Amino acid sequence: MKVLVLNSGSSSVKFKVFDVNGGSQVIAKGSVERIGLTGSRIQCACCETDWKLCQRQAVFAKSNGLVAVPDHGAAIDAICKTLLCSDCGVISDITEIVGIGHRVVHGGEEFTGSVIIDDDVLAGIRKCSRLAPLHNPPALEGIEACEKIFSGIPQVAVFDTAFHHTIPPQAYRYPVPKSMYTEYGVRKYGFHGTSHHYVALEAAKLLGQPLKDLRLITCHLGNGSSITAVDHGKSVETSMGLTPLGGVMMGTRCGDMDPYIPLFMIKEMGMTADEVDRTLNKQSGFEGVCGHADVRDCEALAAKGDPDAQLALEMFAYRVARFTGSYAMVMNGVDAIVFTGGIGERGAEMRSRILKQAGYLGVAIDEEKNARNERDISQDHATVRVLVIPTDEELMIARETARLVTGDGAANRSERVAETV
């Protein structure tokens, strides 16, 4: 049983095909990049050729895989033809795909679990686009393109916000006039939920305990970062808020700060709202502090003595530590701290920076295990385990898609993502 998973961005579509019979094997993966731009590229890991002109369907150009992909419809069509390509052999007919799973960033309060997509769901996703104007519209374009190209094949929406629907009101409400919440939906929603849920499930397996018996702090650290308190299987607090701008500092995002600063930028610095948006989302974080958004570049500069790079690393570690410590109090303790994402999975030095003052919690890192990025990097006597678990959001989406299209779960808007521990 084959499931296609799509992650549609503003100028790209990433895809994976899973065989979910008796497991969840990836049988193809790739992406379409630079949609609507010159130099569009299709990449697919299942092809052994160097993206030569496909003889069955003229999808690829002969020059290094460069193709013209004007919109998401053309991108989805190219993916379909790629999977049918005789060089790939992933599928011989599109009916071999039993379901298509889409990552959708924002589900608002309307979607608290994964759902089979119909007209009402499309309308709901479109309504939530005002809360995620950069993310939901590309997902809608991908869904609508699949309706035409994979006609009749069920599609499933899996929401980044769904796992966080269990956060209680005292955590998700902001202390602003109630009408801002009731009329405009201004509240904390949280993001990276599929990733946080996946690594929480994997942590439970690694620890040999049911997820419902554990208190976990999951740290998804990358160009975008968020921290979540998972209390007995449920998200009860998370660092991102109404949008992915909140929480810890990130590659180019500022994270939490004095809420008057945007007003100061407008009133005193003469910026427009769009300029404030661009500054806080694209020119802040690591980029703003030291001029480099990639933490690897910052670490290289810091090693050479660059003071701004050193400060940026300390600022990031401090903020992650601050959230982590507070979440231990939220849950009245913690059993394990889980690192995932590009920085979380491979950043041994950063993990040490973050946890250098966590001994009071019962944390004790084995630096040799940490340097090797082992799954459990704790010293034997540590009472709080520190785990490094690679995330796999696409696998979670594939599982949810298979579950819903085979009838193993009710397809309704109020259903939570299943916790299959």
Write the CATH number for 274. 3.30.420.40
Distances from the Cα of 392 to the Cα of 33, 107, 238, 345, 389, angstroms: 21, 20, 19, 12, 9
Q: What is the rounded CA–CA span in Å between residue 185 and residue 326?
A: 26
* Helix 136-149 with 119-128: angle, nearest 10 deg: 160
Q: Whole domain around residue 107: which residue ranges?
A: 2-159+394-405
Which residues are annotated as catalytic?
A: 160
Among 62-66, 80-84, 121-125, the range of highest mean pLDDT: 121-125
Q: What is the rounded CA–CA span in Å between residue 363 and residue 357?
A: 9
Rg (CA), the chain: 22
Task: Tell me if the pTM is above 0.85.
Answer: yes
The values of phi and psi at residue 257, to 5°, are -165, 175
Query: Residues 34, 70: contact at Cβ < 8 Å?
Result: no
| 261 shares its domain with 315 | yes
Identify whether 171 is part of a domain.
no
Tens digits of per-residue pLDDT, 139-176? 999 999 999 999 999 999 999 999 999 999 999 999 99
- pLDDT of 319 reads 98
- pLDDT of 165 reads 97
The two structure tokens encoding residue 255: 């994270």
Identify whether 56 is part of a domain.
yes
Identify whether 173 is part of a domain.
no
Identify whether 412 is part of a domain.
no
Q: What is the mean pLDDT of residues 228-240?
A: 98
| 370 shares its domain with 299 | yes
Q: What is the rounded CA–CA span in Å between residue 2 and residue 56?
A: 22
The two structure tokens encoding residue 378: 């704790």
Residue 60: which pLDDT band, with cuts at 50, 70 and 90? Answer: very low
* Helix 295-303 with 348-355: angle, nearest 10 deg: 80
| 354 shares its domain with 401 | no
Average pLDDT of the chain, as a whole number: 90
| 227 shares its domain with 323 | yes
The two structure tokens encoding residue 367: 């630096």
Q: What is the mean pLDDT of residues 271-296?
A: 96
Residue 87: which pLDDT band, with cuts at 50, 70 and 90? Answer: low
Q: What is the DSSP string of 101-149?
A: EEEES--TTT-SS-EE--HHHHHHHHHHTTT-TTTHHHHHHHHHHHHHH
| 225 shares its domain with 346 | yes
Biggest CA-to-CA distance, the chain: 64
Identify whether 200 is part of a domain.
no
The two structure tokens encoding residue 12: 């790209």
pLDDT above 80: residue 38: no
Residue 421: which pLDDT band, with cuts at 50, 70 and 90? Answer: very low
| 123 shares its domain with 20 | yes
Identify whether 339 is part of a domain.
yes
| 94 shares its domain with 218 | no
Task: Work out how many domains the chain is built from and give that number.
Answer: 2
* Helix 295-303 with 307-330: angle, nearest 10 deg: 120
The two structure tokens encoding residue 130: 């005002």
Identify whether 419 is part of a domain.
no
| 240 shares its domain with 373 | yes
Q: Are strands 66-67 and 40-44 parallel, antiparallel or unpaired?
A: antiparallel
| 351 shares its domain with 400 | no
pLDDT above 60: residue 21: yes
Distances from the Cα of 225 to the Cα of 20, 57, 252, angstroms: 29, 40, 11
Query: Residues 337, 387: contact at Cβ < 8 Å?
Result: yes
| 217 shares its domain with 361 | yes
- pLDDT of 134 reads 81
Query: Residues 283, 252: contact at Cβ < 8 Å?
Result: yes
